[in-house]
Structure 1
């Protein structure tokens, strides 16, 4: 890892920009557990800061349902009393019969992650008894700790929030089905977001029919809550800036403190050598990502790795300045029409928002 990564005092005009390709971070298991909290972008969000689209009543309805759900998840141990949500004295609600989980289903950009993080913040339990992570981060945690230790680690929690719930292969299906079953038995409440209804997870990606029992078992843990609407990241906002020239991107990288500079094709090759669980650490203390020669992603494996990186950059509010093709040209028509299309559209949406954030980096 670059020695300049942690230094805020060395001007980049002297040291030069960072390089993501020069980083091969090691992430210990205890860091994976400690980081299961809402990411920086969603650290301060609350139900009160969610702005529903007045033309989409399902968004307003979702806030009410989730507030009630949070009120029923008191931080007290069984048998202990607990005041209501926000300290207004509302008694703790009884655990509802049926699924002990909420599944937020909707398109990208309707605020599902905002609502999920708000639920985490509103649930009246100690932070150590609440966990928040993406589906990828959850499966990575199992890989780092082992299945039984993950069950023991999470079984004492009041709530587990899983963002971007997606089943990409049969192994994930069996693993997550078993894990969530154990956690529900232990009394852990679940909340998840996805672009796909729980009964249709895995559809178009693998032989989902062969794993129907596991998929149906997952679905049984959740009450689906549909959230309609358009992508708020582009609602009423100007279009993302067109890509810049290589010279503009390079100059900006040398000028901006904490910026990285990499050729896009080389970065894609590097991502294949770094486990996706480390993509967050890959961007530690990086304040802007500058990319030259953005071009179409060559294959689906590479595309899926890029989706994970885009998610981590978006979570950390890292602007992305790029030359080459615009981000809506990253994925082929075949990819955008395939089983992972919702992942790719989410990545385009988030990278476009980060490209808009990067516009002030260019001064000429």
Structure 2
């Protein structure tokens, strides 16, 4: 970004300093949390027609066809036909919730396009945006924390569809909370769709994630049809490896040269995340065009790691490239973390940060 000409009689005008995430302490009103329950910017324009199934994975084509039928069935409900079509998604007018499945669960590994398909379902469902909601499991629990349980039930009960991305099975308390919430919404006639991840080491074990999901949601399992989506991570399919980390000087130079970029040292940023509620991490990145980090190192503990995962999700949703010095992103988490109960989250964060690191290569011409 070039500097403006200096006014007559003044000294030279230099480029403004980069932004800093550590300097931000956003406050997010509850109504914004509700209004933002739509597919993130990365998935604004996705549709079933833009999903490119792997020809070697027929389950991907099948998933598209089933979800298109699901969306169409919700449109039939809206028309008041009362007919029960695709696996019982019809709705009895203003009576008890209909019997049979009211939702779909997309079961598969990292990067097979589950979020793309979930967002496509949201877009294809014939309803005003205010009557369909899309959010991650964490965003849903944050909404309950902001509104309270009863108000969340009341707010979402008028929706035709609730899409939950990255359903978490590793926190028993949150899982029970969300399961109870979904039970109330099903009783109100809300259709559901959810995704989660099969663990990398479990991809050969069939319905591992689906079985876990159905067990954890207990009484709600009858309301979901599980769709298996096989395939490899598209973020790495046929693409080069993530670029190695840059030097501190390269990262700093790129931050000063990129309008809207932030520049932070990694350790102070981790400390700052502990002072900002994860529900505000999206607001923390408002207006940021690129994130530049110096001194990336392994995260010191589980709590810090989980906060970093949420930030990585928000940056990925908003397509914010990440340019970094220090260690590569696949060395962020210890072997103990990657083999522990939260490993799904850590592998997802590595995958997404790797994709954002590739996107950041355009910020510097030094290689």
SS, match of residue 15 in structure 1: coil
> Structure 1 residue 243: deviation in Å?
0.3
SS, match of residue 230 in structure 1: coil
Query: Per-residue CA shift, 1:201-251, capped at 9, x if unaligned?
Result: 59xxxxxxxxx6x63224333111111110001101111111000000000
Give the structure with higher Rg (CA): 2
The alignment's TM-score, normalised by the length of structure 2, stands at: 0.87
CA–CA distance in structure 1, aligned partners of residues 291 and 180 of structure 2: 38
Match of 1:189 in 2: 191
> Structure 1 residue 297: deviation in Å?
0.8
Query: Per-residue CA shift, 1:57-81, capped at 9, x if unaligned?
Result: 1111100010001101127657369
Match of 1:48 in 2: 49
Match of 2:15 in 1: 14
Match of 1:95 in 2: 89
Say whether 1:200 aligns with 2:202: no
SS, match of residue 75 in structure 2: coil
> Structure 1 residue 341: deviation in Å?
1.2
Say whether 1:79 aligns with 2:80: yes
> Structure 1 residue 51: deviation in Å?
0.5
Match of 2:223 in 1: 221
SS, match of residue 74 in structure 2: coil
Say whether 1:314 aligns with 2:316: yes
- Kindly indicate whether the alpha-carbon contact (under 8 Å) linking 2:89 and 2:101 is maintained by their aligned counterparts in 1: no
Query: Per-residue CA shift, 1:95-117, capped at 9, x if unaligned?
Result: 26522110001111000000000
The alignment's TM-score, normalised by the length of structure 1, stands at: 0.88
Match of 2:31 in 1: 30
CA–CA distance in structure 2, aligned partners of residues 77 and 362 of structure 1: 51
CA–CA distance in structure 1, aligned partners of residues 155 and 14 of structure 2: 46
Aligned residues: 336
Query: Per-residue CA shift, 1:2-33, capped at 9, x if unaligned?
Result: xxxxxxx9xx9532000001101000001000
SS, match of residue 15 in structure 2: helix
CA–CA distance in structure 2, aligned partners of residues 145 and 38 of structure 1: 21
Unmatched 5+ residue regions in structure 2? 5-12, 91-98, 199-208
Match of 1:295 in 2: 297
CA–CA distance in structure 1, aligned partners of residues 14 and 64 of structure 2: 47
CA–CA distance in structure 2, aligned partners of residues 336 and 225 of structure 1: 26
- Kindly indicate whether the alpha-carbon contact (under 8 Å) linking 2:170 and 2:341 is maintained by their aligned counterparts in 1: no
Out of 122, 125, 129, which is 1:123 matched to?
Answer: 125
Matches within 5 A, 1:204-353: 215-353=217-355
The 3 A distance-change label for structure 1 pair 218 and 317 is same
CA–CA distance in structure 1, aligned partners of residues 233 and 179 of structure 2: 30
Unmatched 5+ residue regions in structure 1? 1-8, 83-90, 203-211
Match of 1:138 in 2: 140
- Kindly indicate whether the alpha-carbon contact (under 8 Å) linking 2:168 and 2:175 is maintained by their aligned counterparts in 1: no
Provide the aligned C-alpha RMSD in A: 2.1
CA–CA distance in structure 1, aligned partners of residues 76 and 324 of structure 2: 45
Match of 1:147 in 2: 149
Out of 174, 177, 186, which is 1:175 matched to?
Answer: 177
- Kindly indicate whether the alpha-carbon contact (under 8 Å) linking 1:243 and 1:326 is maintained by their aligned counterparts in 2: yes
